Amino acid sequence: MNGPLLHVVATILTILVVASVAGFVLARRAGDEKARATIHNLNARTRSWWVMVAVLGGAIWAGATTTILLFALLSFTALREFWTLTPARRGDQLALFLSFFVVLPIHFALLLDGWYGLASIFIPVYAFLILPALTTLSGDAKDFLARSAKVQWGLMLCVYSVSHAPALLLLDTGTPSSLLLVYLIVVVQLSDVFQYVWGKLIGKRRFAPGISPSKTLEGLIGGGLTAIAIGVLLHGLTPFSPLEAAGVSAVIVTAGFFGGFVLSAIKRDLGAKDWGYVIEGHGGVLDRVDSLTFAAPLFFHITRYFWTV
């Protein structure tokens, strides 16, 4: 590990240890049912973060192949969660089967092969054209436009967009590409965490409660500025100068917010609170990677355009 990455790992582990100890103490002192429920949720989230940090850290340490395969598994799980909540008809079965067992594996195989040119257009061009065409063979035209849009949305959000995170490993910026992935995940996830923290501490004005009842304007501003500051402090992991890191972090934070916000709107439309129950205290995999769906593609393409060697 280089110096900045070692500091990041040490800081994350310190935060998790402090959160675990604080949760243990608070759980013993909680006096009423509401407080106990809040502390229980906090401790569940902390335990899940231990697991997520260990799994992701282990994959990144193991190398690019393991990391890409891990994200393929995450995309598969997220896509399954998306379609578990999204109504489908018998005429969609072929498109869904191909999405899970043909399109998704081919897309990540292209990343494993380093074939960025085809990977960048495989889903938005070929899958976009072929899957609706095959769906017409069922002869079911009821809600065809909406059904085809759901197939495309599922693939674009859960597979194509998320895959831009491990695709960072394909970039040559003069710094270890794995550090770019660490940088993206730390900034986008800490933005979510600090939006929650600042919202609980000083949040008063609700921001679009019809979409995300828990988000406040104070939480968004405080969490966003905190994540940008952390992004500047971590510029040593990247080819960015401190000023450039501030701009890139601002893009990550803004895109991450809208990624989570859009997927929250879809959940509300479907009448669901969470996408799934795989991650204790967090919901489903898609609940945890929702910010990446918008942040990862923008971060990837900005870095590729301005900083690749």
194 vs 148, residue with greater confidence: 148
Instruction: Give the model confidence (pLDDT) of 98-152 as tens digits.
Output: 999 999 999 999 999 999 999 999 999 999 999 999 999 989 999 999 999 999 9
Q: How far apart are CA 248 and CA 184, in angstroms?
A: 10
| pTM summary value | 0.91
- The pLDDT value recorded for residue 282 is 63
Q: How far apart are CA 281 and CA 38, in angstroms?
A: 11
Beta carbons of 80 and 181 less than 8 angstroms apart: no
Are residues 217 and 297 located together in one domain of the fold? yes
Neighbours of 268 (CB within 10 A): 14
Are residues 152 and 5 located together in one domain of the fold? no
Are residues 193 and 44 located together in one domain of the fold? no
- The pLDDT value recorded for residue 20 is 85
Domain limits at 176? 63-307
Per the rule left: phi > 0, alpha: psi between -120 and 50, beta: everything else, 174 is left
Domain closes at, from 35, 62, 89: 62
Q: How far apart are CA 267 and CA 94, in angstroms?
A: 24
Sign of CA pseudo-dihedral 90, 92, 98, 99: negative
Are residues 162 and 26 located together in one domain of the fold? no
Are residues 181 and 48 located together in one domain of the fold? no
At residue 252 the predicted structure's pLDDT band, cuts being 50, 70 and 90, is very high
Q: From residue 18, give the alpha-carbon distance in Å to each of 12, 13, 14, 39, 48.
A: 10, 9, 6, 14, 15
Are residues 164 and 36 located together in one domain of the fold? no
Are residues 53 and 102 located together in one domain of the fold? no
Are residues 42 and 84 located together in one domain of the fold? no
Instruction: Give the model confidence (pLDDT) of 28-77 as tens digits.
Output: 776 677 767 777 777 777 888 888 889 998 998 899 999 999 999 999 99
Neighbours of 105 (CB within 10 A): 12
At residue 280 the predicted structure's pLDDT band, cuts being 50, 70 and 90, is low
- The pLDDT value recorded for residue 31 is 67
Total domains in the chain come to: 2
Are residues 172 and 199 located together in one domain of the fold? yes
Are residues 56 and 100 located together in one domain of the fold? no
Are residues 234 and 91 located together in one domain of the fold? yes
130 vs 211, residue with greater confidence: 130
Kindly tell me if the per-residue pLDDT of 296 is higher than 90: yes
Domain closes at, from 31, 62, 93: 62
What is the average pLDDT score of the chain?
A: 89
Domain closes at, from 41, 62, 83: 62
Are residues 54 and 182 located together in one domain of the fold? no
Of all residues in the chain, what percent carry a pLDDT higher than 70?
96
DSSP 212: -
Q: From residue 131, give the alpha-carbon distance in Å to each of 2, 92, 111, 125, 137.
A: 45, 9, 21, 10, 10
